[in-house]
Amino acid sequence: MKIKKIIAREGLILLGIAGLGLVIYFIARHLNNIYLIRNEAVQFKVVQKMKYSLIGYTPYLRTMSLGLNIAIYGYPIIALIRFVLWSIRALREK
């Protein structure tokens, strides 16, 4: 029974972190789209020598990147930190 609780807790932590990252990403994406609609001159900007490019307001683009990084790398980083703290505690017990 204890293993099921551990797996359930870790699954909820994983979903929470990934969900938080995706919420941040989609909010920044929505705000960037609003910015592009209000500033149509930026929307048609031509970037030379690039077939594809992200056009928008830089803080929104950075926030979108942050959201994706949280969604992808957030849980492994948290798991690594928790493992290090657990191992330090385990070594101090004896």
Locate the domains of the chain by residue range.
Answer: 2-92
Span 44-81, pLDDT tens digits: 554 444 444 566 778 888 999 999 999 999 999 999 99
pLDDT at 24: 96
Q: Which residues, at least 6 apart from 4, have a Cβ–Cβ distance to it below 8 Å?
A: none
How many CA atoms, within 13 angstroms, populate the side-chain half-sphere of residue 29? 12
Span 75-86, pLDDT tens digits: 999 999 999 999
Tokens representing residue 56 in the block: 């928008």
Taking the whole predicted model, whether its pTM rises above 0.85 is answered as no
Q: How confident is the model at residue 36 (pLDDT cuts 50, 70, 90)?
A: confident
